[in-house]
């Protein structure tokens, strides 16, 4: 009886080692798969947003992601998923991402520091700087720097504007209420920009967008 007990104890110990080793291997496989999966998502994002997240000038301007705050990126991905922000392409991309993947992607792009693409008319920069720093008092437009910072690098959920493509900013501000805040029952931080987008003329939008597009 004692021999059987000893053999059983030995068998139990061996099985414990085998399953422990297998479990560790499974954990490594899951980690490797997760890493590979994330890299695949990053490569997919690069297809539109550029190799360094610098954005792309095209028929539909595609925004710079490099240097954007993680909180802002995660918030926008959630807004696409929840239909608070309308963009059929980004809904298809975002709704299959897990929260952990969204966080990892946000961290990756925040860590990039691509050189601004530029391309905006230089003649607009001086007036754009004035609007950015002083606002437009006569139409109740506050200084952009009050929220986005003196260097336009943003904070928390308020996005970095430095280096963002001029044509992208123009497109977003001109069409703000057609894309942002699409769920009135669940308003988000985008509501802050609604009055400003309405009170700026298209030429003023182009000027301020030109100014921030050249900032590093």
DSSP string, 22-47: HHHHHHHHHHHHHHHHHHHHHHHHHH
Q: How far apart are CA 194 and CA 23, in angstroms?
A: 53
- CB half-sphere exposure, 56, CA atoms < 13 A: 13
Model confidence over 27-56: pLDDT tens digits? 433 444 488 889 999 999 999 999 999 999
Q: Which residues contact 29 (CB under 8 A, 6 or more apart)?
A: none
Q: Are the beta carbons of 39 and 46 closer than 8 angstroms?
A: no
| Token reading at 65 | 């992601």
pLDDT number for residue 171? 96
Distance CA 49, CA 72 (A): 16
Angle, vertex CA 55, rays to CA 180 and CA 34, nearest 5: 85
What residues are paired with 155 via a beta bridge?
158
Per-residue pLDDT tens digits for 134-158? 999 999 999 999 999 999 999 999 9
pLDDT in tens, 60-87: 999 999 999 999 999 999 999 999 999 9
Average pLDDT value over all residues in the chain: 87
Predicted TM-score (pTM) of the model is: 0.82
Task: Return the pLDDT at 187.
Answer: 86
Which homologous superfamily does the CATH classification assign to the domain defined by 48-213?
Cytochrome c-like domain (1.10.760.10)
């Amino acid at each position: 009886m004692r021999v059987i007990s000893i053999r059983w104890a030995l068998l139990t110990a061996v099985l414990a080692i085998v399953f422990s080793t297998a479990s560790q291997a499974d954990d490594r496989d899951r980690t490797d798969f997760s890493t590979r999966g994330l890299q695949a998502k990053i490569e997919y994002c690069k297809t539109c947003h550029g190799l360094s997240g610098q954005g792309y000038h095209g028929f539909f301007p595609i925004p710079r992601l490099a240097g954007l705050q993680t909180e802002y990126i995660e918030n926008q991905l959630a807004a696409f998923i929840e239909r608070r922000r309308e963009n059929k392409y980004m809904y298809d991309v975002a709704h299959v991402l897990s929260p952990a993947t969204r966080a990892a992607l946000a961290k990756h792009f925040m860590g990039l520091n691509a050189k601004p693409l530029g391309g905006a008319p230089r003649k607009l920069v001086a007036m754009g700087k004035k609007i950015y720093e002083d606002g437009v008092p006569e139409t109740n437009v506050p200084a952009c720097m009050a929220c986005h910072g003196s260097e336009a690098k943003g904070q928390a959920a308020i996005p970095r504007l430095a280096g963002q493509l001029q044509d992208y900013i123009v497109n977003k501000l001109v069409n703000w209420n057609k894309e942002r805040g699409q769920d009135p029952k669940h308003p988000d931080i985008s509501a802050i920009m609604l009055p400003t987008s309405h009170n700026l003329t298209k030429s003023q939008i182009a000027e301020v967008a030109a100014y921030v597009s050249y900032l590093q």
